[in-house]
């Protein structure tokens, strides 16, 4: 379980706000002073747009004169010229046949060995029943009645909750609603079954795919790994076939959802004409922290019940009904660095109580992992114009101005939608700032955090569902899913919409999308 980040300064207050007539006049003065700066930024904006258009269409602009010249020359050829060309080809018939044979052979090898496209047919996100909702007041009351926390810890949790970005409709498992909590193995199994089976039931109903048709199953859950495994529980429940290739990933944190997709993708390159199901979840029942170490209390305030099931296919016939095509997966692992390895660490406190400790260096380590990840991802997705700008500023920094800031590529030119792991408000704030995103780009992440909390590896699917429910996903749009996890890892998945995507039945936002976005109190 990763907390992915929280606001580590919960007591910070808001700045002063201008009021009355004086405030209005002050705003007008500031706006008038900033008008030249605004006009300059508008001019630079259009200069940059013109530059990107020129570089993007440079080949076309170069080839247009060549094509025109070729057409003029062809129109001036007479019948004698055409006859001479045909005779020349006849005399070189052997060469033509050999070239054609090599061409056919090369095309055949390419078609047989090229990576098979992986399609996302559909996915489903679990939504818990209303009786499992945990408003902040109820959360704090239960924490007080449990008797495990001292006054300082209770106050710390209250402040974290106030600034976490979570709303009052998130869910905790049934065992946590009891006093004292039910923390048994049976209660933990019950939570996992409700989440996984709930998501899978919706997925199978929406896609009309029979469980027997599933050839690959990948399940990821970081902290709960019973015997038999979670994947075996699914095989038993849906009576999946005996030769299914099943995998159970544990201890890989909030970024394990992208890892599971990557594993399924690799398997779909080998095993043809089959389906793969990816199930991403986390278990809270046996992983609640009942101690007083501050760094271990933050996950209690952020993590909530959730899970997702994703149906992938390598069948060409599924392209017509699939929602997305997988374009890229980029994985970054910083486990070789000791500080990064221990920044999200499951351990016991001084009293022997087990919990997940978050390092104060978490955000800095996450930023470093993000930098490495986008350095690899950038050349794959960014237009050539942005790559040239980045390379040019890199040379300037290296040879002329070593103290200058590096150029941050504009990923808004590469992606239409962003699904940033809803690990905490601080994670979303940092990526919005560092990637220079607009509020609408992080809206799905903020609203997912508000409505469902940090659901670990499944949060990126709730965010994608939000974008669909808002009717924003159009054919050809590119989506960037990015998640952070213990280890420390930063993983990215890029999808392309194959059609104008509408939300599937029984989606997690079905009964509440009209209430969003809501204003988040800071």
Catalytic positions are 254, 333, 417, 421, 450, 454
Cα-trace Rg, the chain: 27
Euclidean distance between CA atoms 371 and 373, whole angstroms: 5
User: Using CA atoms, how far apart are residues 303 and 421, in angstroms rounded to an integer?
Assistant: 12
Rounded distance between C-alpha atoms, residue 472 and residue 470, angstroms: 6
At residue 484, what are phi and psi to the nearest 5 degrees?
-115, 150
Whole-angstrom distance, CA of residue 97 vs CA of residue 88: 14
Q: How many CB atoms lie within 10 A of CB 410?
A: 18
Gap between the Cα atoms of 371 and 362, Å rounded? 14
Host H or E run for residue 216: strand 214-220
Q: Which two tokens stand for residue 45?
A: 């904006």
Grouping H, G, I as helix, E, B as strand and the rest as coil, residue 506 is coil
Angle at 352 between CA 347 and CA 353, to 5 degrees: 70
> With contact defined as beta carbons under 8 Å apart, do 424 and 449 qualify?
yes
Three-state secondary structure string covering 10-76: CCCCCCCCCCHHHHHHHHHHHHHHHHHHHHHHHHHHHHHHHHHHHHHCHHHHHHHHHHHHHHHHHHC
8 A C-beta contact, residue 435 and residue 411 = yes
- Please check whether residue 220 is in contact with residue 280, taking contact to mean a CB–CB distance below 8 angstroms: yes
What is the 8-class DSSP label of residue 13? P
CA nearest 128: which of 167, 161, 173? 173
Q: Which residue has the tokens 């991403």?
A: 280
The string of DSSP codes covering 82-114 is HHHHHHHHHHTHHHHHHHHHHHHHHHHHHHHHS
DSSP SS3 for 77: coil
Reduced to 3 states (helix: H, G, I; strand: E, B; else coil), residue 375 is helix
Q: How far is CA 5 from CA 86, 198, 308, in A?
A: 71, 28, 22
C-alpha 234/C-alpha 518 separation (Å) is: 36
Residue 493 in contact with residue 328, Cβ under 8 Å?
A: yes
Residue 251 CB burial class (10 angstroms; 0-12, 13-18, ≥19): middle
- The sign one gets for the Cα dihedral 455, 457, 463, 466 is negative
Question: Are the C-beta atoms of residues 456 and 281 closer than 8 Å to each other?
Answer: yes
CB 493 within 8 A of CB 326: yes
């Amino acid at each position: 379980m990763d907390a992915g980040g929280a606001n580590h300064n919960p007591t910070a207050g808001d700045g002063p706000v201008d009021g009355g007539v004086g405030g209005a006049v002050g705003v007008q003065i500031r706006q008038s002073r900033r008008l030249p700066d605004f006009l300059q930024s508008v001019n630079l904006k259009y200069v940059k747009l013109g530059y990107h258009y020129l570089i993007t269409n440079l080949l076309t602009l170069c080839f247009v004169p060549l094509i025109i010249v070729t057409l003029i020359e062809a129109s001036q050829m007479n019948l004698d010229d055409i006859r001479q060309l045909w005779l020349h080809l006849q005399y070189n018939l052997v060469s033509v046949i050999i070239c054609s044979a090599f061409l056919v052979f090369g095309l055949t090898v390419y078609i047989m060995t090229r990576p098979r496209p992986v399609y996302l047919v559909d996915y489903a996100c679990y939504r818990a029943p209303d009786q499992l909702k945990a408003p902040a007041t109820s959360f704090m009351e239960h924490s007080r009645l449990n008797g495990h926390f001292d006054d300082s810890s209770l106050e710390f949790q209250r402040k974290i909750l106030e600034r976490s970005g979570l709303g009052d409709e998130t869910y905790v498992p049934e065992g946590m609603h009891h006093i004292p909590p039910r923390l048994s193995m049976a209660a933990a199994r019950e939570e996992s079954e409700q989440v996984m089976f709930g998501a899978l039931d919706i997925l199978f109903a929406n896609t009309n795919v029979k469980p027997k048709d599933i050839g690959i199953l990948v399940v990821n859950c970081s902290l709960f790994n019973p015997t038999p495994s979670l994947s075996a529980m699914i095989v038993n429940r849906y009576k999946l076939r005996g030769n299914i290739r099943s995998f159970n990933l544990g201890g890989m944190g909030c970024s394990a959802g992208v890892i599971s997709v990557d594993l399924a993708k690799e398997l779909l390159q080998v095993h043809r004409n089959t389906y793969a199901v990816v199930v991403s979840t986390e278990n809270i029942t046996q992983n609640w922290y009942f101690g007083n170490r501050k760094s271990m209390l933050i996950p209690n305030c952020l993590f909530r019940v959730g899970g997702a099931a994703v149906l992938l296919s390598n069948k060409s016939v599924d392209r017509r009904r699939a929602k997305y095509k997988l374009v890229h997966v980029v994985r970054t692992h910083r486990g070789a660095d000791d500080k990064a390895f221990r920044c999200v660490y499951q351990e016991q406190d001084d009293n022997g109580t087990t919990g997940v400790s978050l390092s104060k260096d978490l955000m800095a380590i996450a930023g470093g992992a993000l930098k490495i990840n986008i350095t690899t991802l950038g050349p794959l997705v960014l237009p050539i114009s942005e790559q040239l700008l980045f390379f040019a500023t890199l040379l300037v920094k290296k040879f002329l101005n070593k103290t200058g800031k590096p150029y941050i590529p504009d990923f808004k030119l590469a992606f239409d939608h962003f699904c940033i792991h809803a690990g905490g408000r601080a994670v979303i704030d940092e990526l919005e700032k560092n990637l220079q995103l607009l509020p609408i780009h992080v809206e799905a992440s903020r609203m997912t955090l508000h409505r469902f909390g940090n659901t670990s590896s499944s949060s990126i699917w709730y965010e994608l569902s939000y974008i669909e429910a808002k009717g924003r996903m159009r054919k050809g749009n590119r989506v960037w899913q990015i998640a952070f996890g213990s280890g420390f890892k930063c993983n990215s998945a890029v999808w392309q919409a194959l059609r104008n995507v509408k939300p599937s039945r029984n989606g997690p936002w079905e009964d509440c999308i009209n209430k969003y976005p809501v204003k988040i109190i800071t």
